[in-house]
Amino acid sequence: MFNGDVCVPTDQCGCAHDGRYLLAGETIFSSSCTEKCTCSTSSQLTCAESSCRSGETCTLIDGVHSCELKEAQCKVSPEALLTSFDGATGKYLYSGIYNLAFVCDESALSWFRVLVSIGTDSDNGLVAVEAIYVFFPDAFIAVKKNNRTWVNGRSVKLPYNKNAVSVSQVWDGIVIDQASQVEVHLYPNGEVTVKAKKTFAEKLCAPCGNFNGDSTDDLKLPSGKAENTADVLQAWKAEDF
């Protein structure tokens, strides 16, 4: 018997499904990824209900559907509530400058590091976002909530473009972008979003999480241990500020 174009014993044959030939051991998703079928040895096709995880989307690649991680967004609300790339949440309780997201491998060409400055509002005493700091291999960008922007310590007029890094003023704040792979947006109300393409999936550290589609392994201490969320956020204070 043949499995694809390889001659195999009959108990290792593939399966026919929807006009497609599946190799033994191959798995296929239905067009909306609601059903997952696996071809076992002995040509048994086993199908079960399925769905993509919350951080994933049903994607057609080379004629085959599968659950793929989509671009993800980490967010800090104006009131300093963090939502990780994979959807875990935690609230900043104290002032300080905190790591939000960075590429774990500091030698990576596409390395970046995003920090958020949380302060206490003098009027109402509530903690809120005041500024963001973004590092790339060749640029350090500081943006205050009033849109004042510095690159490598110098105040700049926007737009700024150099070495695949751009900083632009848009109608609702300041957008910082590196090679269209990561985008950091500071809104006038203090909201911060970090959008990362899936090339960064599972390569990120800090409270925005590892971007693996699973919220349950987010919000860990730098050591990897789990504590209560407020302690985790506090533990990611930037040591160099």
Question: Which residues contact Ca ion (rule: CB under 5 A)?
Answer: 86, 209-210, 212, 214, 217-218
Name the token pair of 17.
């499904």
Closest separation in Å from C-beta 74 to Ca ion: 11
Contact 53, 67 (CB under 8 A): yes
Beta-carbon count within 10 A of 232 CB: 20
Closest separation in Å from C-beta 90 to Ca ion: 13
For Ca ion, which is the closer residue by CB, 136 or 236?
236
For Ca ion, which is the closer residue by CB, 35 or 217?
217
For Ca ion, which is the closer residue by CB, 31 or 54?
54
Burial of residue 206 (number of CB atoms within 10 Å: 0-12, 13-18, 19+): buried
Closest separation in Å from C-beta 57 to Ca ion: 16
Residue nearest to Ca ion (CB): 86
For Ca ion, which is the closer residue by CB, 186 or 208?
208
Name the token pair of 11.
């108990």
Closest separation in Å from C-beta 99 to Ca ion: 16
For Ca ion, which is the closer residue by CB, 119 or 209?
209
Contact 207, 99 (CB under 8 A): yes
For Ca ion, which is the closer residue by CB, 191 or 218?
218
Contact 186, 77 (CB under 8 A): no
Contact 101, 181 (CB under 8 A): no
Closest separation in Å from C-beta 206 to Ca ion: 12
For Ca ion, which is the closer residue by CB, 189 or 199?
199
Closest separation in Å from C-beta 12 to Ca ion: 37
Name the token pair of 205.
């550290």
Residue 116's alpha-carbon distances to 31, 81, 181, 223, 227, in angstroms, are 41, 12, 20, 21, 21
Closest separation in Å from C-beta 146 to Ca ion: 33
Length, in residues, of the chain: 241
- 133 CB-near residues (< 8 Å, 6+ apart): 97, 114, 115, 116, 117, 140, 141, 142, 241
Give me the amino acid identity at 158: L
